[in-house]
């Protein structure tokens, strides 16, 4: 297993246009994905066996992920968003239909109509955090796809991941440095 620091702007898997990807550049195997615009902790595998074990751990919810996001709007100090997410259409997921999706959040700071939020997805759906916050009328900064204002980047960062015990190794948290601009 390998945890990488994924930068903004590079895909995890090769895109149709043949551009660069983490998978192609490293030769490591994908266990989960982050959007091209999202930075932070990315768990990859070195072997097909490792990929199967990690993918299963993600599917079973044994790997916990925490993200940092900046939202535009007002949300309660903490809460849980429980809205199903569906198929991909016209560059975004369908909201309110499809598979169950749950996201917990806690506001860390507020200023001038924005908030820094610690986010824990309890399921792993495509665009889950982005779509869920749009349902609260509090889209992510830099996410025009779901109603957020344009910015220099998408303000979503995979801050830390908790890896369960594998092969006798202890459970561990891996943390990614917080990028500039996420501190309010």
List residues with catalytic annotation. Answer: 35
Largest CA distance in the chain: 48
80-87: long-range contacts, CB 8 A cutoff, minimum separation 24? 80/104, 80/105, 80/122, 81/105, 81/132, 81/133, 81/135, 81/136, 83/131, 83/132, 83/135, 85/125, 85/126, 85/127, 85/128, 85/131, 85/132
Q: Are 153 and 40 in contact (CB under 8 A)?
A: no
Asked if 40 contacts 119 with a C-beta cutoff of 8 angstroms, the reply is no
């Amino acid at each position: 297993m390998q945890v990488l620091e994924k930068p903004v702007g590079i895909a995890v898997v090769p895109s149709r246009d043949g551009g660069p990807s983490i998978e192609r550049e490293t030769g490591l195997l994908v266990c989960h994905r982050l959007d091209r615009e999202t930075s932070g902790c990315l768990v990859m595998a070195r072997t097909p066996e490792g990929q199967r074990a990690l993918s299963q751990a993600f599917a079973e919810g044994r790997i916990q992920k925490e993200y940092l996001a900046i939202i535009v709007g007002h949300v309660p100090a903490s809460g849980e968003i429980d809205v199903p997410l569906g198929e991909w259409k016209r560059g975004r997921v369908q909201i309110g239909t499809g598979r169950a999706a749950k996201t917990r959040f806690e506001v860390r700071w507020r200023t001038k109509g924005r908030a820094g939020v610690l986010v824990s997805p309890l399921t792993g759906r495509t665009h889950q955090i982005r779509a869920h916050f749009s349902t609260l009328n509090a889209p992510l900064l830099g996410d025009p796809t779901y109603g957020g204002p344009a910015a220099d980047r998408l303000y979503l960062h995979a801050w830390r991941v908790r890896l369960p015990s594998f092969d006798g190794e202890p459970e561990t948290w891996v943390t990614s440095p917080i990028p500039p601009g996420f501190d309010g």
